[in-house]
Structure 1
């Protein structure tokens, strides 16, 4: 239920200062449009949220603010999940960075520090019944790994209890097995939001990797 406010975050500042145009959409589930907007994501991960992000990108292209074929996407935590989902279900992005995401809702249910409670509150179900397990697996980017062809940088905090490393390593292994362009970076002794409050050298390394990934796979001078 987080939201982007009027002030840019660190990714927006870094990317914009390099020359990229950055959009910060607040899809359904965000708290900025009232309870009905939040409730619109209940049980609809990978559907309502992805639809809203694509709507924003469509608008940016229609108004000349973005070019088809020259789009990147990045996100952390839930945004990491959504980034994985977007590149698994669409080929419109040329480069992606997913950080501390969720690739397998089934394993996250047990391994996340708030997994069972959060899965229930968000309408995702539980793996204790066939129906619940099917719903969790349906909303898992790992299920759609074969569809990921966008170069993907995966950043992970080793001590993340909210989105544990073991979850995202499953997607990394799947993409390596499929011989896709993927890189996985594990930051030791780092927690979920290390990018803003972790050790400075690791934060700096992380910021550089984000910029380098987009510079490599979405160069500013490409036509």
Structure 2
């Protein structure tokens, strides 16, 4: 009888271990699904031109136990050797500024012509994958465990979604994972600084119209406090935590914590009203004081997207 009980206990224990293994989340960067993406017929002709020779895929990958949407752009015809990769950090929040096939075609087309593979995250809770799991109002709610796609935190735990792209691209045979670059625009610039604070894996970084001082941005644009900070940053109702969360997202306060081995190119237009030019100037001053390698380029009268300086930006980045 004792032998039978021991055998039963062993079977149960093995079953529990197997169940736990099945329930364990996939490691960060694991590609859970991937599918080819075609541009819609009504996409701008310029987008179709940019997409020529480009293999565009939508990915769902693991990050922090969540399922996160991303896009991958690579040459349609395999290259003779693995290519360097740019991790692109989108701007905006929630659906505003979210990645779509058309936006990815415009972004990736120019970079692919310069010999890069491009991967970009929509951040947790965003994109079609997040929308399919629960509505936007739940994606903005405070609290954990609200859905398989997680929730955006405007530079909080969603920075993990950027870092999870490192093991993701390491799994791609078309990518030389020793040659990684980081590129972020607007809020994506903030995400770039936050990622660099935690890793030195990127050989270089580009920040366009980047947010480096959240308190200053809130002073200049009070609507950001009400409609973005208060809705997305955890613990906003707690004054003490609020100050910490703002400081943690403001690279101008901790430029000395960025890696010495990653040079940063900062691009900003003097006519930008979404992210004021002083953000770039003050970040440059902080990097200079911290003796971190950087280059600052200010574009006279340039708007938030530097739309009138597209070719100059492409030359600077390429």
Which of 1 and 2 has higher RCO (CA within 8 Å, sep 6+)? 1
User: Does 2:130 correspond to 1:21?
Assistant: no
1:54 & 1:85 partners in 2: Cα distance?
10
The Cα offsets for residues 50-89 of structure 1, whole Å up to 9 and x where unpaired, read as: 2112222212202334333310010111111111211122
Q: CA deviation at 1:181?
A: 1.2
2:161 & 2:276 partners in 1: Cα distance?
27
1:182 alignment partner in structure 2: 294
The Cα offsets for residues 9-46 of structure 1, whole Å up to 9 and x where unpaired, read as: 4441111011111112221153332147843444x333
Q: 3-state DSSP class of the match of 1:22?
A: strand
2:221 & 2:125 partners in 1: Cα distance?
20
The within-5 A match list for 1:1-223 is: 1=94, 2-7=97-102, 8-32=104-128, 33-34=130-131, 35=135, 38-39=139-140, 40-42=150-152, 44-112=153-221, 114-117=223-226, 118-123=228-233, 129-149=239-259, 150-194=262-306, 198-199=307-308, 202-211=309-318
Whether the aligned pair in 2 keeps the contact of 1:127 and 1:133 (CA below 8 Å) is no
Q: Who wins on radius of gyration, i.e. which is larger?
A: 2
State the superposition RMSD in angstroms.
2.5
Q: CA deviation at 1:131?
A: 3.4
Any unmatched runs of 5+ in structure 1?
Answer: 212-223
Q: 3-state DSSP class of the match of 1:48?
A: coil
1:81 & 1:164 partners in 2: Cα distance?
14
Q: 3-state DSSP class of the match of 1:74?
A: strand
Decide whether aligned partners of structure 1 residues 99 and 181 sit closer, same or farther in structure 2, where only a CA change above 3 A counts.
same
Whether the aligned pair in 2 keeps the contact of 1:60 and 1:66 (CA below 8 Å) is yes
Whether the aligned pair in 1 keeps the contact of 2:154 and 2:233 (CA below 8 Å) is no
1:51 & 1:129 partners in 2: Cα distance?
25
Q: Which has the higher strand share?
A: 2
1:63 & 1:155 partners in 2: Cα distance?
30
2:199 & 2:303 partners in 1: Cα distance?
30
1:75 & 1:156 partners in 2: Cα distance?
12
Decide whether aligned partners of structure 1 residues 69 and 38 sit closer, same or farther in structure 2, where only a CA change above 3 A counts.
farther
The Cα offsets for residues 115-159 of structure 1, whole Å up to 9 and x where unpaired, read as: 322322223677994432222112222233112231100111212
Whether the aligned pair in 1 keeps the contact of 2:180 and 2:204 (CA below 8 Å) is yes
Any unmatched runs of 5+ in structure 2?
Answer: 1-93, 141-149
Larger mean Cα displacement after TM superposition, 122-131 or 19-28:
122-131
Number of equivalent positions: 205
